[in-house]
Structure 1
Amino acid sequence: MKSVPALGEVPSHWTVERAKWVLCRQRRDVQPEDRIVTAFRDGQVTLRENRRTEGFTNAVHEIGYQGIRKGDLVVHGMDGFAGAIGVSDSNGKASPVVHAYVANQITDARYVAYTLRTMALSGYVTTLAKGIRERSTAFDAPTLANVQLPVPPLVEQRRIANFLDAETVRIDAVSRHFRQLADLAQERVRAVVDAAFADYEASPRVPVSTVCRAIIDCVNKTAPISTETTPYKMIRTSNIRNGMVDLTDTFSVEKGIFTEWNRRGAPRPGDVLFTREAPLGQVGMLCGNEKVFLGQRIMLYRADESRIRKEILLFNFLGSHMNRQLRLLGAGSLHEHMRVGDGLKLQVFCPPLEQQDALVTQIQEGREASLLLSDLAQRQLALLAERRQALITAAVTGQFDVSTASGRNVTEGVSA
């Protein structure tokens, strides 16, 4: 057996080579017909228009853009650490932050892509970083060049890649169904909220600023992340989803950074957190007493409970009436975001205080089944993602014979 950094042992008949010996970097000119190709974090590399166009910032002048061709191994220099590595299914062009490669004659680019993504998702790429900022880690071409890769015989690489192509398609198909189930559960929650507020549609709404004791927006730059685990955590937009704040995946910071970033006031249990961007409009209520502070693009709303229950404030953000406002206030032709000032202007229903407890009970009872369904779907998605990555890791390290692993002909329709 041989050992490879981040992957462990691989079969003894495999070789181990630095990436620069199996990959040839490409620097092509852009053609007039080329459209933008994006490397997504799930490993798909395709024309941006094939997936989505919101959430991106397009360059006015495409300085340094390069040609990408179908079959290229594409590595995103800033998002590669999170899995933005794959084989392009399209011709097009990409920004300078992307680097593209053609595999040599004894290497299958698909196998290398699966291997590099496994290394990235294990955290290995982060250890190679030349600089760290929130949500990205530099993984440039010189760094990749020296990464050691396991190199099975070509026929074995193709067999592994064919197996993984077939199996991941099956897993992804099941995952899509669970994502649809989760989406339906959230639509059901919105319907419950809308029905509860229907009796107040004729009543005037009030600016959210008039029913809050405090509204805090994150005006800091990116906080320096601690290399050690500390009790001081940064809440990111990815932690805020579907009425809840999930703190299981947060960045740690030093106590001094925590104190500095909370100089305008620390978040408290019951605060409603709202994302102004990436994506716009997610909301959740903070629970528990963890030591946290707001990351970028988040606003905090603290209900004045002499006027509005904190739950009613949260439910306002989950209703269709809030979505309509966000569509009007969301600025930017390239991606949706909301300015801090507009976050003060959002209008909310504020029923008479004596009616709010009953309204809270009504909505919570209606949400319960939908939240259970959503939680089930999310847990299944997590298990499928774990299964998918475990399968990939085992295959690219030769832990099983992929030709018999699934009990079916996984290479049907593709050449060996």
Structure 2
Amino acid sequence: MAGKYQSYTETKESGIPWVLDELPAHWEVLPAYSVLRHEQIKNVDGKETNVLSLSYGNIKIRNVENNSGLLPESFNTYQLVWPGDIILRLTDLQNDKRSLRVGRSSLSGIITSAYLKLKASNRIDDRYLYRLLHFYDTSKVFYGMGGGLRQSLKFEDFRRLPIVVPTLNEQRAIAIFLDHETAKIDALIAKQERLIELLKEKRQAVISHAVTKGLNPDVPMTDSGIEWLGEVPEHWKVSRLKFETEVVDCRNKTPVYFDDGEYFVVRTTNVKNQQLNFTGALFTDETNFKIWTQRGVPPAGSILFTREAPTGEVCIVPEELKFCMGQRMMNFIPRCSEYRDYLFDFLISDCLDRYINAVSHGSTVSHLRVEQVENIPVLVPPVKEIRQIHSLISRLKKKLDAIERNALDSIMLLKERKSSLISAAVTGKIDVRNWQSHQTEDAYA
């Protein structure tokens, strides 16, 4: 980092080692209350209706439609916010210990009591303050101040937060530098994210075409009799899920969970991106396991399916996993082992979404009933074609997954670069007073 930018020649101990060790000799460290104030102005006339919320460091207008019960009858109790205000969320901090949840508003609007609004004094630039607060490690800062990190904090807890204060000219230079440099990094991140979206679209299109039209473009087609499915190869069988698999529903109750339980309870949240994950895993004991598997233990190689929250996630049951299904989970056991691969590809194509849209008549649907799942239309190609289709899709997945992993790695590195750059600038590790934008035009090429 220092190799590309100038360094300050004179430094001193910061006096706040839990934040940083050294800082430029002429910089100050001041308590928060001396450079900013907590401002809480109510929307007493209720005229302002732009509800703002904080999302990943950005303050955005919140869509409040169809959120019955979420908002009060009027907006009179909300706090007014103007451009340049610093907004912090000081609740649920124990779930996000690494950094403060902070944003700088470029909008006028109102915020709920879950947020704290800060107004910068004439001693500190709000753009610099926004960047500095992003750098702070919440747990270290508040423990260093002599208090623990609680579930929520008030301004009284925050007012003595040590604020690193360069000269105003340096603050503005740092803000301009970071705005320019992070914008370039953000643009590169956006390109990688767009690449991932295009990869997913391509994957979906190829899979959907293969599982409904086959691989031979010259094969005779016939009307499937299902509007959303359209024409299919005339030698393929049009069937229903219940005729090609054994469909097993879960018990519509929640088992008792035990911290030392031996049996994993697969819930809908454990099935994501065609994988079984153990994030937030819950376990039960042998007694509950026997009750919850009275309809059978889902065999390895069968398909797990979520029929609610969210609907339509699937994954393959792995080998040697001791588990039972939680609520809103279903299990599909194909009558033919080779058909399992085709059915899985069919379910991850857009066919399931089209079916859900058809049975819900275009309205938003949060779940499928058991009989609706059992009657999902499916196709049955000849075994030889099943193998060819699955082989093609497997190769496609492998290729696109590798490209996606590289894109995700690039995004991670770019985010690390961005974080390091912000940290270096706001703590005086680099001197940007004489920086010019053309100096780093090729830095991220």
Give the TM-score of the pair, scaled to structure 1.
0.71
Please, which moves more after superposition, 260-269 or 105-114? 260-269
1:73 aligns with: 86
3-state SS of 1:59 partner: coil
2:335 aligns with: 306
> Which residue, 25, 46, 59 being the options, matches 2:38?
25
Distance of 2:340 and 2:239 partners within structure 1: 16
The question of whether the paired residues in 2 share the 8 Å contact of 1:35 and 1:92 is answered with yes
1:97 is the counterpart of 2:131 = no
2:399 aligns with: 369
- For 1:225-262, what per-residue CA distance to the aligned partner results, in whole angstroms no more than 9, with x for missing partners? 9xxxxxx9999959833x44677xx56x8xxx644799
Question: Shift of residue 358 of structure 1?
Answer: 4.0
Amino acid at match of 2:119: V
The question of whether the paired residues in 2 share the 8 Å contact of 1:207 and 1:344 is answered with no
Distance of 1:10 and 1:56 partners within structure 2: 51
Question: Are the structure 2 counterparts of residues 368 and 401 from structure 1 closer, same or farther at C-alpha, using a change threshold of 3 Å?
Answer: same
Question: Are the structure 2 counterparts of residues 92 and 408 from structure 1 closer, same or farther at C-alpha, using a change threshold of 3 Å?
Answer: same
1:130 is the counterpart of 2:150 = yes
1:106 aligns with: 123
1:197 is the counterpart of 2:211 = yes
- For 1:148-202, what per-residue CA distance to the aligned partner results, in whole angstroms no more than 9, with x for missing partners? 3322232222222221111111111111111111000000110121112214745
Alignment of 1:7-406 (within 5 A): 7-11=19-23, 12-30=25-43, 31-41=46-56, 43-48=57-62, 58-59=70-71, 61-62=73-74, 64-78=77-91, 81=96, 84-119=101-136, 128-131=148-151, 138-199=152-213, 201=229, 204=238, 206=240, 211=245, 214=248, 240-241=272-273, 243-244=274-275, 250=279, 258-259=283-284, 264=292, 272=304, 300-306=329-335, 310-327=340-357, 338-339=366-367, 341=369, 345=373, 347=376, 349=378, 351=380, 354=383, 356-403=386-433
Question: Are the structure 2 counterparts of residues 151 and 340 from structure 1 closer, same or farther at C-alpha, using a change threshold of 3 Å?
Answer: farther
Distance of 2:266 and 2:155 partners within structure 1: 30
3-state SS of 2:87 partner: strand
- How many residue pairs match? The answer is 383
Question: Are the structure 2 counterparts of residues 310 and 71 from structure 1 closer, same or farther at C-alpha, using a change threshold of 3 Å?
Answer: farther
Question: Shift of residue 345 of structure 1?
Answer: 3.1
Question: Are the structure 2 counterparts of residues 395 and 352 from structure 1 closer, same or farther at C-alpha, using a change threshold of 3 Å?
Answer: same
3-state SS of 2:380 partner: coil
The question of whether the paired residues in 2 share the 8 Å contact of 1:395 and 1:402 is answered with yes
Distance of 1:289 and 1:37 partners within structure 2: 48
Unaligned ranges ≥5, structure 1: 132-137, 226-231, 411-416
Distance of 2:244 and 2:108 partners within structure 1: 53
The question of whether the paired residues in 2 share the 8 Å contact of 1:276 and 1:299 is answered with yes
3-state SS of 2:53 partner: strand
Distance of 1:14 and 1:209 partners within structure 2: 75
Distance of 1:13 and 1:272 partners within structure 2: 63
Question: Shift of residue 48 of structure 1?
Answer: 3.2
Question: Are the structure 2 counterparts of residues 198 and 57 from structure 1 closer, same or farther at C-alpha, using a change threshold of 3 Å?
Answer: farther
Unaligned ranges ≥5, structure 2: 1-12, 214-223, 441-445
Distance of 2:85 and 2:275 partners within structure 1: 40
Amino acid at match of 2:37: C
Distance of 2:18 and 2:241 partners within structure 1: 53
Amino acid at match of 1:144: F
Distance of 2:164 and 2:267 partners within structure 1: 37
Question: Are the structure 2 counterparts of residues 244 and 404 from structure 1 closer, same or farther at C-alpha, using a change threshold of 3 Å?
Answer: farther
Distance of 1:3 and 1:235 partners within structure 2: 49
Amino acid at match of 2:35: V
3-state SS of 2:21 partner: strand
The question of whether the paired residues in 2 share the 8 Å contact of 1:190 and 1:320 is answered with yes
Q: Which has the larger radius of gyration?
A: 2
Distance of 2:59 and 2:334 partners within structure 1: 49
